[in-house]
Chain A
Amino acid sequence: MARAAVQRRLTWQVATVDELVDETARVKTIVLDVPDWPGHRAGQHLDIRLTAEDGYRAEREYSIAAAPGERVAITVERLEDGEVSPYLTEELREGDGLELRGPIGGHFVWGPENGGPLLLIAGGSGVVPLRAMLRHRKRTGNDLPARLLYSSRSLDDVIYRDELDAASDGIEVIYTLTREQPPGWTGHARRVDADLLNEVAWPSDENARAFVCGPTSFVETVADGLVELGYPPARVKTERFGATGGK
């Protein structure tokens, strides 16, 4: 029989912008004070709603950038023709109110109870929910090996670069810069392909949990590649986002 669980309604509430952090020239992290936040899991989302003076509303779903227990935060990339991201990255100021609801989602989430090793593969701002997982791993004192393969256009486009460069305690970060590499760059310099996955991914018999997040075409390539390497589809969790779909 169904357990008598009291379901929490998903309701809109107004959060306050606590802090704005420049991550790259086009990406900002918005740290929020949410009065009625029930807690979240690493990888979950929240919805942001903007209402124009004429009543027009736009909603976008953003991955939560913070680990469970940390202040709620989202990381937003400015899309030049976006309806929501230009406001969030350029107009929003500390102390402003922001309407949101969440947390949302239960598929693309990771906790220590899910085991590992943890294979995280990000394209662009797809790194956001994966960063929440890495922070969660660290905060819970987990020592499962974790590897982040992060595809960016250039080094300047790498989000959370200082944090990722400082990663230790069993976390390996592997960058690939697809469009522009700094002088002397010895790392990878191409789109993620089967060879790169073969190099970076643990053999399938190590039972790694894979989380892949990025633009749709990136996710399809990586997920197919991992399955070809023998990863069972159930251990490859994917999340796709579009140029207008938020994140």
Chain B
Amino acid sequence: MEALDGNAIGGLMLEIFGVEMTTATGVCAGCGAVAVLAQTVVYLEAPGTVARCRSCDAVLMVVVDVRGTKCVDLGGLASLEPAA
């Protein structure tokens, strides 16, 4: 499957977090790389939506739709800060 980037999940993240998140800064829990979510490597149907670190390829975020409820795993992020 083709890798896209975090721009492709702007709507999904806005729906989940309630604020614009493509400009949010995430820190990779694996390698410590700091990047805005727009720069992450995104797979849309992995299954589920997966965002990976562009530096080390670790999984940062997974979103799965379970019968209409969005389940979000942010375990790969050491921190996540929306833009001011």
Contact = CB atoms under 8 A, between A and B. Distances in A.
Given A241-B4, A242-B4, A107 B11 contact: no
A232 B78 CA distance: 25
A47 to B, nearest CB: 4
A219 B39 CA distance: 12
Given A7-B18, A106-B23, A241 B8 contact: yes
A7 B19 CA distance: 7
B26 interface: no
Contacts, number: 72
A105 B4 contact: no
Interface string B1-33: 011111110110011001110110000000000
A239 B5 CA distance: 7
Interface residues on A, range: 20 to 34
Interface string A25-57: 000000000000000000001110000000000
Contacts of A101: 11
Contacts of A10: 11, 14-15, 18
Contacts of B8: 61, 240-242, 245-246
A216 interface: yes
A240 B34 CA distance: 20
B83 interface: yes
A240 B15 contact: no
A105 B10 contact: yes
Interface residues of B, number: 22
A61 B20 CA distance: 15
A102 interface: yes
Interface string A86-112: 000000000000000110111110000
B10 A104 contact: yes
A227 interface: no
A21 interface: no
A219 to B, nearest CB: 8
B51 interface: no
A106 B20 contact: yes
Contacts of A167: none
Contact of B7 (A46, A107, A243): A107
A204 interface: no
The CB with the most chain B CB atoms within 10 A, among A106, A219, A238, A245, is that of A106
A104 B20 CA distance: 7
B3 A216 contact: yes
Contacts of A245: 2, 4, 8, 44
Interface string A209-247: 000000010010000000000000000011111111110
User: Closest 3 A-B residue pairs measured CB to CB?
Assistant: A107-B38, A242-B2, A105-B10
19 contacts: A10-B11, A45-B10, A61-B7, A61-B10, A61-B11, A101-B11, A102-B11, A104-B10, A105-B20, A106-B20, A107-B23, A108-B7, A216-B2, A216-B4, A239-B7, A240-B4, A241-B8, A242-B8, A245-B2
Interface of A: 7, 9-10, 45-47, 59, 61, 101-102, 104-108, 216, 219, 237-246
